[in-house]
Structure 1
Amino acid sequence: MEKNLQKTYTFKEKMKAMGPGIIIVGSFLGPGTVTTATRTGAGFGYALLWTVVFSVIATIALQEMSARLGIITQKGLAEHITDIFEEQPIMKTIAILFVGGAITLGGIAYMSGDLLGTSLGISNLTGIPTNYIAPAIGVIILILLNVGTVKWLEKILGVLVATMVTVFVITMVVVKPDMGELLTGLIPSVPEGALMNCVALIGTTIVPYNLFIHCTNAKNHWNKPEDLVLSRWDTYFSIIVGGIITAAVMITAATVMRGMTVNSAADMAVQLEPTLGAFANIFMSVGLFAAGFSSAVITPLGVSYVLGGLLGWKLDKSDKRFFYTNIGILLLGIFGSATGFNPLTIIIMAQALNGIFLPVVVVFLVYVTCSKKVLGEYANSMWINLVGIAISVITLVIGGSSVISVFKSLMG
């Protein structure tokens, strides 16, 4: 049973202490979220709104476990995964290859989507092809990774999140969605042809490498059991706000764009016309750029944290292996974004890929945080373990169904 957590904080103190949670929201609120939620709303109405609710609840539960693990043990999630198999070298190697491979592939896909989303915004305003813009954005991000700081990034992401909340929530209210249909969308169901969107919505919110980033950032931000109160506030508040944005995007698209085909930033801007009128296209373009840029800065760091923790590297740019991993993910992401495929299709496929890999990471996280040997009195309660197992099973079933569906379509 947890103790020494009875200290109370004012709202101002809680807001001042926020940080790691904002990083996570800034990461998952990239162009993938906006694109996936818009296409889902336009194509299937409110039917998959339940997926957003599930994703928010699951993200809160998993990120809380991750932060608690980091604060109490002052070690990263990747380090704990290797510790599990410390006396079993073969299993340790398999775990490193399995987790590291899944996170790396998912990170490359996510990086491509982030760069395309960033480039899509600029391309919509200038007419310059996205495959020309993406490399330039990648170089800028590379520079930022070497001269920027997490504290500076947290502040920028906080402003971006606040702006997106305001615009999309106001628009959601202005368009007056059908409340009956909206409530029906909270009942779990997957319409025909919506499975990939369902997996993508989960993958764009519960990002596997974010569980590693949050563990590391939380241990760097806090170091006492008493800090769990602030950490939980930071996690709950940030992710709920992120979930509101995702839901608002889907609801406005379902209300304004039902039945429309979404192939460009200009198409996505239609949902904001009730609020912004002629400025909707400009705002959507700038928003995609900002969301993609903020998410793209974090993506290579996320993969580097995972590989560094698994392989025992120093987790900062002073370690050349950490530094070159950042460069590698960026370069591969640039390559993926310059292939010439439809940008929105690549973005959604990237989210779906993360959704498929998610159960692998969730199983390890729940296993570590339920261990009293690792966390003592701060180990998961029975109910938290059940929630973690349920999330693992649900994501495994949905992700597995998606893989089977894709395989069947490829086989004709």
Structure 2
Amino acid sequence: MPRTLPRRLVDNATLKSLGPGLITGAADDDPSGIATYSQAGAQLGFNALWTLVLTYPFMVGIQLVSARIGRVTGVGLAANIRRAYPPWLLYAVVALLLAANVINIAADIAAMGEALRLVTGFGSAHVYAVGFGLLCLLLQVALPYAAYVRYLKWLTLALLSYVATAFAVHLDWAEVLARTVWPHLRFTRDSVALVVAVFGTTISPYLFFWQASQEVEEIRSAPQARALRTRPPDAARQLARIKTDTLTGMGFSNLVAFFIMLTTAATLGAHGITDIVSSSQAAAALRPLAGDFAFLAFALGIVGTGMLAVPVLAGSAAYAVTESFHWRNGMDLKLMEARRFYAIVALATLGGALLDFAPIDPIAALVLSAQINGVIAVPIMIVMMLLAHNRKIMGSYTLSLRHTVVGWCGIAVMLAAAVAMLLPA
């Protein structure tokens, strides 16, 4: 009996249905995102927690749209934009996405290197950063798609370190619940900027491209799978799987972000440490306040989430560029079968690693990346919603009224955030 239990757990239909949505959601809690959530928790305390409750339905809504487009059409988001819109729009969006992703990779790899240096107590953060970049690239090139996805699924467990960290500190759960439901906010420019940053970090364009392309990879990797436009017999089951996968993945993402905010609010913010500019700084500041366990869990979580997020950032850029020019792509292909795809993955990953050696302020780089993501998220979301209602693209699988309302409400929230971000001081 004990020998059969693990197999039964693995064969559970719900667990097997988790894939693109789970990985996408987990990748959203990358080291640069951790820095944003830490700063929000440290500066606004428990009053920042409501933002993650608000963004959850909008995050689910837009990621469902991206996954649906990929599964219905059998091609990624950039390929569908190429089919329906003029080339200048596609190239502008992809160029901005590529720039934002490379800067984001640089920030994430730098945080990973610094976190490992903090844990080991010796070595160069720059050397560690290059090592992490090379390791991420090697795994993407060397592993076949099925094995690579299993590796990414296991890496999502790294995020549980932030849940464990929260339970390692003293918390007044009644106050936590009260502030989540009824926050006490003073709407200063700094507090609004932080709320905008949380929105931009939670709903990011690279996640749209990644999840749509991963649905395409799922079709390619299963011999009997077909794009839903062809009306395969399992269409209803696939749409239900996408819904379960996305609800779970985005829920996991926001739950982890919630605990990051919670931990930093109860420790750093409560002790007046509010100037948090990186995830590794947040980890180091936790040590004297919450002990070695909290420090190690937080720091090692940065490494784990970075190993998950960097391939997603590089991969989403590679999918977007190769789909734009109709080049072969996919992690199910070998290196020589998709040379341009893997070349872009390599350039984005190693370019980000080498950017850490440039005389660029890493905090300024993070701000620039967030600004680019915040600006391009809105037009991409609008295009996605229009694609999802285009019968020439989606056939009979256009969006329902409920998904339409949620999607456009999410766009309104992100537009308001982008406008607030761009307003002069």
TM-score band by shorter chain is 0.7 to 0.9
Asked whether 1:370 is paired with 2:389, we answer: yes
Asked whether 1:118 is paired with 2:115, we answer: no
Measured against aligned partners, the alpha-carbon deviations of 1:166-189 in whole angstroms (never above 9, x if no partner) come to: 65266258532423333223x897
Distance 1:279 1:106 in 2: 34
Measured against aligned partners, the alpha-carbon deviations of 1:142-177 in whole angstroms (never above 9, x if no partner) come to: 222210234333333333333433652662585324
Judging changes above 3 Å, is the alpha-carbon distance between structure 1 residues 141 and 153 closer, same or farther for their aligned structure 2 residues? same
Q: 1:210 pairs with 207, 211, 215, which one?
A: 207
Mapping of 1:56-67 within 5 angstroms? 56-67=56-67
Q: Tell me if the contact between 1:172 and 1:251 (Cα under 8 Å) persists in the aligned partners.
A: no
Judging changes above 3 Å, is the alpha-carbon distance between structure 1 residues 167 and 344 closer, same or farther for their aligned structure 2 residues? same
Q: 1:220 pairs with 217, 222, 225, which one?
A: 217
Mapping of 1:249-268 within 5 angstroms? 249-258=260-269, 259-260=272-273, 261-263=275-277, 265=280, 267-268=282-283
- Give how far 1:341 is off: 4.9
Q: Tell me if the contact between 2:162 and 2:259 (Cα under 8 Å) persists in the aligned partners.
A: no
Asked whether 1:41 is paired with 2:19, we answer: no
Mapping of 1:3-402 within 5 angstroms? 12-85=12-85, 92-125=86-119, 126-165=121-160, 167-168=162-163, 171-172=166-167, 175-177=170-172, 178-179=175-176, 180-185=178-183, 190-222=187-219, 223=226, 224-226=234-236, 227-258=238-269, 259-260=272-273, 261-263=275-277, 265=280, 267-271=282-286, 277-316=291-330, 317=335, 318-341=337-360, 343=362, 346-347=365-366, 349-402=368-421
Distance 2:185 2:84 in 1: 36
Q: Tell me if the contact between 1:106 and 1:357 (Cα under 8 Å) persists in the aligned partners.
A: no
Identity over aligned pairs, percent: 19
Distance 2:185 2:130 in 1: 40
**Aligned AA (1:132):** V
Judging changes above 3 Å, is the alpha-carbon distance between structure 1 residues 46 and 339 closer, same or farther for their aligned structure 2 residues? farther
Measured against aligned partners, the alpha-carbon deviations of 1:106-163 in whole angstroms (never above 9, x if no partner) come to: 1112111221121121121334343333223222222222102343333333333334
Q: Tell me if the contact between 1:111 and 1:299 (Cα under 8 Å) persists in the aligned partners.
A: yes
Count of aligned positions: 389
- Give how far 1:270 is off: 4.8
Judging changes above 3 Å, is the alpha-carbon distance between structure 1 residues 45 and 100 closer, same or farther for their aligned structure 2 residues? same
Let me know the Cα RMSD of the aligned residues.
2.7
Deviates more, 1:172-181 or 1:208-217: 172-181
**Aligned AA (1:20):** P
Distance 1:58 1:188 in 2: 22
Deviates more, 1:63-72 or 1:193-202: 193-202
Judging changes above 3 Å, is the alpha-carbon distance between structure 1 residues 338 and 170 closer, same or farther for their aligned structure 2 residues? closer
Distance 1:350 1:128 in 2: 28
Deviates more, 1:215-224 or 1:357-366: 215-224
1:339 is paired with a residue of what secondary structure?
A: coil
Q: Tell me if the contact between 2:91 and 2:324 (Cα under 8 Å) persists in the aligned partners.
A: no
Deviates more, 1:340-349 or 1:253-262: 340-349
Distance 2:106 2:115 in 1: 14
Q: Tell me if the contact between 1:21 and 1:239 (Cα under 8 Å) persists in the aligned partners.
A: yes
Structure 1: 5+ residue runs without aligned partners?
1-9, 86-91
Measured against aligned partners, the alpha-carbon deviations of 1:60-118 in whole angstroms (never above 9, x if no partner) come to: 11111111122222121111101113xxxxxx221122211121121112111221121
Deviates more, 1:60-69 or 1:171-180: 171-180
1:45 is paired with a residue of what secondary structure?
A: helix
Tell me what 2:231 maps to.
Answer: none
Q: Tell me if the contact between 1:172 and 1:248 (Cα under 8 Å) persists in the aligned partners.
A: no
Tell me what 1:3 maps to.
Answer: none
Q: Tell me if the contact between 1:47 and 1:191 (Cα under 8 Å) persists in the aligned partners.
A: no
Judging changes above 3 Å, is the alpha-carbon distance between structure 1 residues 330 and 59 closer, same or farther for their aligned structure 2 residues? same
Distance 1:101 1:79 in 2: 15
* TM-score, normalised by the number of residues in structure 2: 0.83
Distance 1:286 1:342 in 2: 24
* TM-score, normalised by the number of residues in structure 1: 0.85
Tell me what 1:88 maps to.
Answer: none
2:189 is paired with a residue of what secondary structure?
A: coil
Q: Tell me if the contact between 2:23 and 2:156 (Cα under 8 Å) persists in the aligned partners.
A: no
Judging changes above 3 Å, is the alpha-carbon distance between structure 1 residues 164 and 96 closer, same or farther for their aligned structure 2 residues? closer
Distance 2:371 2:54 in 1: 16
